[in-house]
Amino acid sequence: MDTQTLPLTASVQAWTGGSHFQNLAVNLPALAPGEALAAVDLATVCGSDIHTISGRRPGPHPGILGHEAVGRILSLGDGGARDFHGRELQPGDRVIWSVTVSCGQCARCRAGVTAKCVELLKTGHEPLDGPWGLSGGYASHIHLRRGITMVSVPDLVTDAAAAPVACATATVMAVMEAAGPLARKRVLVSGAGMLGIVACAVATHRGASAVHVRDINTERLALAREFGATDATAPGNDPSGFSVDIAVDLSGAAQAVESAFEALDIAGRMVLAGSVSPGPAVALDPERMVRSLLTVTGVHNYEPRHLQEAMDFVKETRDIYHWDALVEEPRPLSELQFLMQPPSGRSLRKSVTPLQEQRGEHHDHP
């Protein structure tokens, strides 16, 4: 598509605070060198957006939420833009993009912790009237700023399989990297939401000898078994002597963190990633930590390599795991406000197709 056919504005569902959204037309930005404009084909609703509108996580508003999405490049700034592998992107290319946008220059970026860049911007977390208005996926178009990571989507990967990669799957890649090698390890996954289900698949794929999952939701436990869990049950049902080498907490529940710590065997490692809103403190016995040589670490968001690794994983395992079956049939963007509630049953993500209404208009004026 050449620039002559570009619309002048994007159609967005702006979050205006509380549980309120408003349909707005927002001017498309002038692209700086290295930037791109993409049309958003599908955006999935991550649980943290639901936290935001329920007041559990602060966010600037009005602003465009949505940080799990897939789209197509429409236009590029001077000099073009490149994907993670350094390949020059072309109009029409399918891409996903990272949650974090970093400067690449500060001490944290240089230390390899770009997710905590001192000038960090976040996809779907910026004010509409700020320098990055079109930052979110709940819009017909998104401005892909310099410093964002773009990963090409292989033809074999559907939109529904691709969109959650940008938050859930990539975060799990960072979590599993922090957990260390998984081959022949007994792994405990606390929480069987989107991240927990991905964690089951990764642990299985990397040769874990057992994958234990704990969640209160029986439908999700069944799903966990389909994605590789060898034992999936409600918390508190651990057999006596239950022990694991690796524990990953994706639930954020204090009780789950305590039980997982208790289950760690000698030289065990625990990775915490679910505790993303304030909660009660957890008691960890330092003597046990010392004598059992335990490691406890935290992961928040991810680095660019994890986004590429997550896309590669979904592509590689697409015939083993039905990634797109975890995403409900998409709804038009105008229904976004009704989708802002935790998914139920076997669905782990609701989704919207932001361009659907615009396409509908074109059909009316052939």
Residues that bind Zn ion (CB under 5 A): 46, 48, 102-103, 106, 109, 117, 167
Decide whether 51 or 315 has the Cβ nearer to Zn ion. Answer: 51
H-only helix segments in 163-245: 168-179, 194-205, 218-226
Decide whether 117 or 163 has the Cβ nearer to Zn ion. Answer: 117
CB of 47 to Zn ion, least distance (A): 7
Q: Which of 201, 189, 134, 192 is nearest to 161 (CA)?
A: 201
Decide whether 107 or 290 has the Cβ nearer to Zn ion. Answer: 107
Longest alpha-carbon distance in the chain:
73
Q: How many CA atoms lie within 13 A of 39 on its CB side?
A: 20
Decide whether 48 or 259 has the Cβ nearer to Zn ion. Answer: 48
CB of 168 to Zn ion, least distance (A): 7
Token digits of residue 76: 């590029």
Strand duo 331-332 + 351-353: pairing: parallel
Token digits of residue 113: 């912790």
Token look-up 């139920």 returns: 344
- Measure the CA–CA gap between 102 and 274, rounded to whole angstroms: 23
Decide whether 117 or 232 has the Cβ nearer to Zn ion. Answer: 117
- Partnered with residue 122 across adjacent β-strands are 100
CB of 167 to Zn ion, least distance (A): 3
> In angstroms, what CA-CA distances link 24 with 13, 62, 325, 346?
6, 11, 31, 33
Decide whether 272 or 294 has the Cβ nearer to Zn ion. Answer: 272
SS3 152: strand
SS3 341: coil
CB of 146 to Zn ion, least distance (A): 12
Decide whether 140 or 171 has the Cβ nearer to Zn ion. Answer: 171
CB of 100 to Zn ion, least distance (A): 10
CB of 118 to Zn ion, least distance (A): 6
- Measure the CA–CA gap between 208 and 203, rounded to whole angstroms: 5
CB of 106 to Zn ion, least distance (A): 3
SS (H, E, C) 27-67: ECCCCCCCCEEEEEEEEECCHHHHHHHCCCCCCCCCECCCC
Q: Which of 120, 203, 197 is nearest to 164 (CA)?
A: 197
Rg for the chain (alpha carbons), in Å?
21
Decide whether 67 or 220 has the Cβ nearer to Zn ion. Answer: 67
CB of 1 to Zn ion, least distance (A): 29
> Is omega for the bond preceding 62 within 30 degrees of 0, making it cis?
yes
Decide whether 182 or 340 has the Cβ nearer to Zn ion. Answer: 340
Q: Which of 306, 172, 167 is nearest to 249 (CA)?
A: 172
CB of 60 to Zn ion, least distance (A): 17
